[in-house]
Amino acid sequence: MPIHQIAFGSHEELRQPGNLKAALAEFICTLIFVFAGQGSGMAFSKLTNDGPSTPSGLIAAAIAHAFALFVAVSVGANISGGHVNPAVTFGAFVGGNITFFRGVLYVIAQLLGSTAACFLLEFATGGMSTGAFGLSGVSVWSALIFEIVMTFGLVYTVYATAVDPKKGDLGTIAPIAIGFIVGANILAGGAFTGASMNPAVSFGPAVVSWTWTHHWVYWAGPIIGGGIAGVVYELFFITHHTHEPLPRGEF
């Protein structure tokens, strides 16, 4: 059972050089991802005055986020595991693949990376709004379901291609698969919730624009979806013959 593998670790982990290096990698990876993903939406809005609210804008957002996440996961994989997402970190935690205290460092770094990216975008564009995630044509509960299901698919993909010890050569395409599922989910849910799947991605724009309407959805949905994916995959599809000591530095 995954609950038996959960490890909280020690607060001493917050000061360990290896963990701090991994957190720095998460900061940089998230900054890269959010700057490219959020920036693409701002650029499209400047060029068309509609942004991602049009079919072409939605496709552009899906492609930009898929490419950016592929790169962000790739450059962070050998250092931190390339989580780039608090929901992925939480899914790894409930599956026993990262300790609580190391996870806290990751989440803080991810939130700071997203916020820094949005401030840099606002500065570089001369004060152009980064916008914020919001609901469009759906109830708050429908939006919550959207975010839960989309994040479940994302974290399940992470487990299948990056975490599962049986992955073999499949691990080499993990960043591509993770980027593709995010792009596909943006096409599915972008018109309704913005398809965050990532509390850090929602947090940065909310801070910069100071817009918090329904912001809790973009935390609750991804955390629930990511947690369910971690438990389901660890419980039904991963067999641990021996208990490995935690924390594991990377997937």
Instruction: Tell me the CATH number at 18.
Output: 1.20.1080.10
Q: 163-175 burial, b if ≥16 CB within 10 A, otherwise e?
A: bbeebeeebeebb
| Domain assignment of residue 241, yes or no | no
Q: Is the pLDDT of residue 245 over 50?
A: no
pTM of this structure = 0.91
| Domain assignment of residue 10, yes or no | yes
Mean pLDDT, range 177-184, rounded to an integer: 97
CA 215 to chain centre: 16
Among 172, 166, 231, 225, CA closest to 197:
225
Among 222, 203, 234, CA closest to 90:
222
Q: What is the pLDDT of residues 97-149, one digit of tens each?
A: 999 999 999 999 999 999 999 999 999 999 898 888 999 989 999 999 999 99
What does pLDDT average to over the chain? 90
| Domain assignment of residue 23, yes or no | yes
Which stretch of 2-16, 82-96, 102-116, 214-228 has the lowest confidence by average pLDDT?
2-16
| Domain assignment of residue 245, yes or no | no
| Domain assignment of residue 50, yes or no | yes
Q: Is the pLDDT of residue 244 over 70?
A: no
Domain span at 131:
2-236
| Domain assignment of residue 248, yes or no | no
**With bands split at pLDDT 50, 70 and 90, how would you rate the model's confidence at 52?**
low
Q: Is the pLDDT of residue 193 over 90?
A: yes
| Domain assignment of residue 246, yes or no | no
Whole-angstrom distance, CA of residue 80 vs CA of residue 102: 10
Cβ 164 vs Cβ 232: under 8 Å: no
Number of domains in the chain: 1
Q: Is the pLDDT of residue 250 over 80?
A: no
Amino acid 171: pLDDT = 82
Among 22, 199, 18, 33, CA closest to 116:
33
Mean pLDDT, range 26-37, rounded to an integer: 97
Q: What is the pLDDT of residues 59-103, one digit of tens each?
A: 999 999 999 999 999 999 999 999 999 999 999 999 999 999 999
Burial of 250 per CB tally in 10 Å (0-12, 13-18, 19+): middle
| Domain assignment of residue 153, yes or no | yes
Amino acid 247: pLDDT = 47
